Amino acid sequence: MPGRWTHSFEEDHDGITVYRRDDFAFPPARGRRGVEFRPDGTWVDWVIGRGDAPEARPAGRWDATGRITRDPGHEPAAGRIVTAEPDRLEIIWN
């Protein structure tokens, strides 16, 4: 599960945000957000920066149970991984 994941907004459903690995064949878009889960338990929020290029912003912590927390001042405050497959990640943000 650690690694960088890109938001596949076309697949979002029922309040669940869907992410795919960076090498997924995404349809064209003007920029995509993403997340990167690091082995040390931290994670990075990849936002759309200048010129639609991804820009990394440290965001919080995650653990093996699927719990995701954000650093104070970030919204949404937390999330939970509901599905983790080799090529697909689904998160509910609250």
Per-residue pLDDT at 7 exceeds 90: yes
Closest CA to 15 of 79, 72, 86: 79
Residue 68's pLDDT is 96
Bond before 76 cis per omega within 30 degrees: yes
Looking at the predicted structure, is the pLDDT value of residue 75 above 80? no
Query: How much is the average pLDDT of 37-42?
Result: 96
Say how far apart CA 11 and CA 68 lie, in whole Å: 21
